[in-house]
A and B are shown apart, each in its own frame.
Chain A
Amino acid sequence: MRRPDPEVTADIQARLEMVVALSVSGPGDAPQRGAVDGSRVGDKHDWSDGGQALIDAARTFRLTGAMMVAVEAGTVELSDEQLALLHDHHVGALAWCLRLEDRLCEVVERLTSVGVTDLRVIKGSAIAHLDETDPAHRTFGDLDLLVSGAQFDWASAALEDMGAHRPYPERRPGWDHRFAKSATLTFDDGVEIDLHRTICDGVHAVRVPLGRLFADPEPFVLAGQEMLAMDHTARALHACYHAVLGSPTPRLMSRRDVAGYLARTNGDVGPLVAEAERWRGTAVLHEAVGSVLALPGLQAAGVDLSGWSAWWTGTEIPAAEQAVVAAQRRDGSSFGPSRVRVAWEMPGLANRAAYVRGLLLPTADHLASRGVTRSSLVQRVRRRVSN
Chain B
Amino acid sequence: MSGEARVGSSEETELRAPGARGDDPGHDSRPVVANRDVLERRVGGEVLLLRRAGDHELQRLAGVTAATWLVLDRPALVADLVAEAVEVAAGVADPAVVESAVRGAVQVLLEADLIHRVVDEDDEVGR
Using CB atoms and an 8 Å cutoff, list the residues of chain A in contact with chain B.
1-3, 59, 62, 68, 87, 90-99, 101-102, 105, 134-136, 141-142, 190-192, 222-224
Asked if B6 is at the interface of the complex by the 8 Å CB criterion, the answer is yes
Determine whether the beta carbon of A102 is less than 8 Å from that of B39. Answer: yes
Chain B interface: which size bin? 20 to 34
The chain A residue sitting closest to B60, CB to CB, is A91
Residues of B within 8 A of A2 (CB): 2-3
With A135-B41, A223-B38 known as contacts, the answer to whether A91 contacts B48 (CB < 8 A) is yes
Determine whether the beta carbon of B48 is less than 8 Å from that of A94. Answer: yes
Residues of A within 8 A of B4 (CB): 59, 92-93, 95-96, 141
With A68-B43, A87-B43, A94-B41 known as contacts, the answer to whether A223 contacts B52 (CB < 8 A) is yes
12 additional contacts (CB under 8 A) given A222-B39, A224-B127: A1-B2, A91-B43, A95-B5, A96-B5, A98-B40, A98-B41, A102-B52, A135-B41, A136-B42, A142-B2, A190-B2, A223-B39
Residues of B within 8 A of A190 (CB): 1-2
Interface members, chain B 25-44 (any A CB < 8 Å): 36-44
Q: How far is the CA of A94 from the CA of B59 in the complex (A)?
A: 12
Determine whether the beta carbon of A97 is less than 8 Å from that of B1. Answer: no
Q: How far is the CA of A142 from the CA of B1 in the complex (A)?
A: 11
Asked if B86 is at the interface of the complex by the 8 Å CB criterion, the answer is no
Residues of A within 8 A of B58 (CB): 95, 98-99
- Of the candidates B6, B36, B38, the one whose C-beta lies within 8 Å of that of A95 is B6
Asked if B7 is at the interface of the complex by the 8 Å CB criterion, the answer is yes
Determine whether the beta carbon of A102 is less than 8 Å from that of B5. Answer: no
Determine whether the beta carbon of B39 is less than 8 Å from that of A101. Answer: yes
Q: How far is the CA of A328 from the CA of B58 in the complex (A)?
A: 41
Determine whether the beta carbon of A92 is less than 8 Å from that of B43. Answer: no
Interchain nearest-CB distance for B127 vs A (Å): 7
Asked if B50 is at the interface of the complex by the 8 Å CB criterion, the answer is yes
Asked if B56 is at the interface of the complex by the 8 Å CB criterion, the answer is yes
Determine whether the beta carbon of B2 is less than 8 Å from that of A98. Answer: no
Q: How far is the CA of A187 from the CA of B11 in the complex (A)?
A: 19
Q: How far is the CA of A105 from the CA of B38 in the complex (A)?
A: 11
Interchain nearest-CB distance for B58 vs A (Å): 6
Interchain nearest-CB distance for B126 vs A (Å): 10
Interchain nearest-CB distance for B123 vs A (Å): 12
A-B contact pairs, 17 of them (CB 8 A): A90-B43, A94-B41, A95-B4, A95-B48, A95-B58, A98-B39, A98-B49, A99-B5, A101-B50, A135-B41, A136-B41, A141-B2, A141-B3, A192-B2, A223-B37, A223-B39, A223-B127
Q: How far is the CA of A97 from the CA of B56 in the complex (A)?
A: 13
